[in-house]
Amino acid sequence: MSNKTHVQARINGEDTEFLCEPQQSLLEVLRDTLGMTGTKEGCNDGNCGACSVVLNGRLVDSCLVLAVETEGKSVDTIEGVAGPQGLHPLQQKFLEEAALQCGICTPGFIVAAKALLEREPNPSEQRVRLWLAGNLCRCTGYDKIVRAVLGAAKVMEAKKP
């Protein structure tokens, strides 16, 4: 209790302050301290991607980031993907394509896929598969996930001015 550090980070666009111990991961702080439980834990060693977040514009596993490292940085999580205007096209496509079953990996996939589409608006199927190889899904066989991401890319392209 004595060892806590004060951290200020920009989480989903909001300046956020929290106290954490140095050994706490960003995942722990998001879930336990900040109550943002949309980011999931599947393995806690960087092999499943369920805890994917975007740190300073870069896709990372939040289980492999110390919370203290986020001082002054931006963190974007699943909670920030849908806006007041509604679901993100990826979320909408995941629903339409039935790209989730149990749903535990879904936030990680959506955060990861959004990071891809913001960088590469028109990826190939193979590119989608490569980008998402760090996200495990045990329910779907990835078929509908890949289709949803490719479908969302089309929707997002069409929406561009």
Partner 1 sequence: MRSFEYVQARTVKKAVALLAEKGEQARVLAGGTDIIVQLRAGRRQVERLVDIKGIPEANVLSYNSSRGLRLGAAVPCYRIYEDKAVARAYPGLIDAASLIGGTQIQGRATLGGNLCNAAPSADGIPPLIVLGAVCVVAGPEGIREVPVEQFCTAPGRTVLKPGEFLVSLRIPPPRPHSGAHYLRFIPRNEMDIAVAGVGASVVLDDRGERFLSARVALSSVAPTPLLVSEAEKALVGAAVADGAIQHAAEAAMAASRPINDMRGTIEQRRHLVGVLTRRALQGALKRAGKG
Partner 2 sequence: MTTSTPKKYDVIGTRPIRHDGVEKVTGRAKYGADLQLPGLLYGKVLRSPHAHARIRSIDTSAAEALPGVKAVVTGSDIPAASDTVQSLGETAVRMRYLSNNVLAGDKALYKGQAIAAVAAVNVNVAEEALALIKVDYQPLPPVINVMDAIKDGAPLLHEDMLTQELGKRTDKHSNIANHFQFKKGDLEAGLQKADVIVEREFNTASVHQGYIETHNGTALWSSDGNLTIWCSTQGSFMVRSQLAQLLMVPESKIKVVPMEIGGGFGGKISVYLEPLAALLARKTGHPVKLTMSRAEVFEGTGPTPGTHMKVKMGANKEGRITAAQVSLYYEAGAFPGSPVNAGAMCALAPYNLENAQVDGYDVVVNKPKAAAYRAPGSTQSAMAVETVIDEVCEKLKIDPLEFRLLNGAKEGDRRVDGPTFGRIGYLETVRAALAHPHYKTPLGGPHRGRGVASGFWFNAGGQSSCYISVNADGTVSLVEGSVDIGGTRVSVAMQAAEVLGLPAEAVKPTVVDTDSVGYTWVTGGSSTTLKTGLAAYEAAQDVKRQLLERAAKIWETPVENIELVKGVFRSKHDPALKLTFAELAGKLLATGGPVTGSASVDAKGVGPAFATHIVDVEVDPETGKTQILRYTAVQDAGTAIHPSYVEGQIQGGVAQGIGWALNEEYFFNQQGQMANSSFLDYRMPTSLDLPLIDTVIVEVPNPGHPFGVRGVGEVPIVPPPAAIANAISHALGVRMTTLPMSPGKVLEALWKKEGGRS
3 state DSSP class of 28: helix
Q: Binds 100, which of partner 1, partner 2, none (CB < 5 to 8 A, cut-off by type)?
A: partner 2
Contact 81, 110 (CB under 8 A): yes
Q: Which token pair is 119?
A: 């960088």
The least distance separating partner 2 from the CB of residue 95, rounded to whole angstroms, comes to 4
Judged on CB neighbours under 10 Å (0-12, 13-18, 19+), 92 is: middle
Please list, in sequence order, all residues whose beta carbon lies within 8 angstroms of the beta carbon of residue 7, skipping any fewer than 6 positions away.
Answer: 17, 18, 19, 20, 67, 68, 70, 71
Contact 65, 9 (CB under 8 A): no
Which residues are bridge partners to 53 per DSSP? 60
Interface region with partner 2, contact rule CB under 8 A, candidates 10-18, 75-83, 114-122, 152-160? 75-83
Interface region with partner 1, contact rule CB under 8 A, candidates 77-85, 92-100, 109-117, 137-145? 109-117
Query: By rule CB under 8 A, what string of x and - marks binding of each residue 17-36 to partner 1?
Result: ----xxx-x-----------
- Among 10, 33, 41, 64, the residue binding partner 1 under the rule CB under 8 A is 64
> Which of 118, 125 has the CB closer to partner 2?
125
d(CA 58, CA 73): 11
The least distance separating partner 1 from the CB of residue 104, rounded to whole angstroms, comes to 17
Please list, in sequence order, all residues whose beta carbon lies within 8 angstroms of the beta carbon of residue 54, skipping any fewer than 6 positions away.
Answer: 60, 74, 75, 76, 77, 111, 114, 115
57 binds partner 2 (CB under 8 A): no
Which residues between 112 and 131 bind partner 2 (CB under 8 A)?
A: 125, 128-130
Q: In the complex, which residues of this chain contact partner 1 (CB under 8 A)? A: 3, 5, 21-23, 25, 44-47, 49, 52, 55, 58-61, 63-66, 68-69, 112, 115-116, 130-135
Q: In the complex, which residues of this chain contact partner 2 (CB under 8 A)? A: 31-32, 35-45, 47-48, 50, 77-79, 81-82, 87, 91, 94-98, 100-107, 110, 125, 128-130, 132-147
